Amino acid sequence: MMSRRSFASIIVFLLLSLAFAGASWGQDVDTPEQMQDQIDLLIHGEKGAGGIIQRLAKVETDLFGRELPGSISERQMGLLNFVKNGTLGQPSMVFKAGIAEWGITHEVRPDLSLARRIAEMERQLEGEVGEGRPLAMRLERLLSLLFPGQIAWQDVNVPANLVFRVTFVDRVTPKSAVAGDIVRLKLEDNLAVGGYLIAPRGSRVIARVDTVKPPRSFGRPSEIKFAFERLEPLGPEAVPVFLGDASALATKSDATMATAMGTSAIGAILLGPLGLAGGLLVRGDAPDVAPGTPIFLETASVTAVKGYPIPPSLLGLLGGGQDVAPAGQVQEEFGQVSEGGDLIE
């Protein structure tokens, strides 16, 4: 059974979420239907059936076992604060789910809905799914079994040019890519700053197809420009990322990467300025960039995010991700990248 303290924390957080329903971390104002779509996708991974009122009531019942008071807008903003954004001093449900996954499997699964993530953790930890109980209380029970005390978060400044390793989740095909296509990657090592967990292994990285050029005269192959956008950490913020000098050099200098590059399109990717804005250029005569293809990226600027203060007893869970180095340290170790970019060979 969940402790009374955990149940009380849900009630307090819920009241705070409703109280801060008018201020949601500077988000753009969406229509009630757009907001409900976002809530449904976060909780269940698909849009609910019926009208907004019916969908809202179902989500509230699934989360808390009852409907909430207030207007539609107050209830929706309260749910978004509770599930995604958090409130002052109170981590969001998404943040807590990520911490719980990190404690059980040592990585997160952000592409799954919250309901499925909680069910999978229950199955792994207790052998069965807690069907029929409110999702928020089921998550609090998992956290009480895994960690001492309440889960907290703290403001942390992620430094610029912090280098980290990712792998492609989606396949990128130069011949069929279309400008605007979203491409997913995932973090391969835990990212921590000063003892605060920022992004566990498995955290999502988003890139997009920038431009595509068809085959041209004189046998010139098609080209696809591919830009990196953001790392999605535990909290509601986004960390801008790019492929810069330090991450390009780390990619070239890593023995595992060098082996992978020999059998993938990364070996034919141009790095550096060259009008790519920290992205990639893949030529049409290169093979596909397959799922699992590794590459290093780096943070584009100092970014304020929410981090989890790791208890001393759990620091060992960071593994190899504990010593992620800023770009300056990488450059000191490996030397300087030549001006104008370079070709990974």
Domain covering 156-343, topology: Lipocalin (2.40.128)
pLDDT number for residue 288: 75
DSSP string, 204-269: EEEEEEEEEE---GGGPPPEEEEEEEEE--SSS--EEEE--HHHHHHHHH-HHHHHHHTTSGGGG-
Give yes or no for a contact between 266 and 260, defined as CB atoms under 8 angstroms apart: yes
Rounded CA-CA distance 256/250 in Å is 11
pLDDT number for residue 337: 35
Look up residue 209 and give its two tokens: 């197809």
Domain ranges of the chain: 1-152, 156-343
**Chain position carrying tokens 């952000």:** 110
Put the strands of the sheet holding 303-309 in their side by side order.
154-158, 303-309, 196-199, 191-193
3 state DSSP class of 174: coil
pLDDT number for residue 132: 87
pLDDT number for residue 267: 46
- pLDDT tens sequence for the chain (345 residues): 455 555 555 555 555 555 555 544 445 568 999 999 999 999 999 999 999 999 999 999 999 999 999 999 999 999 999 999 998 789 999 999 999 999 999 999 999 999 999 999 999 999 999 888 999 999 999 999 999 888 999 999 999 999 999 999 998 877 778 899 999 999 999 999 988 999 999 999 999 988 887 666 666 666 778 789 999 999 999 999 998 888 888 877 776 665 655 545 554 454 443 334 456 666 656 567 889 988 899 999 999 999 999 998 888 888 766 444 333 333 333 333 333 333 333
Q: Quick one: DSSP state of residue 337?
A: P
φ and ψ at residue 67, rounded to 5 degrees: -80, 155
Measured N-to-C along each axis, helices 135-146 and 114-126 cross at an angle, to the nearest 10 degrees, of 40
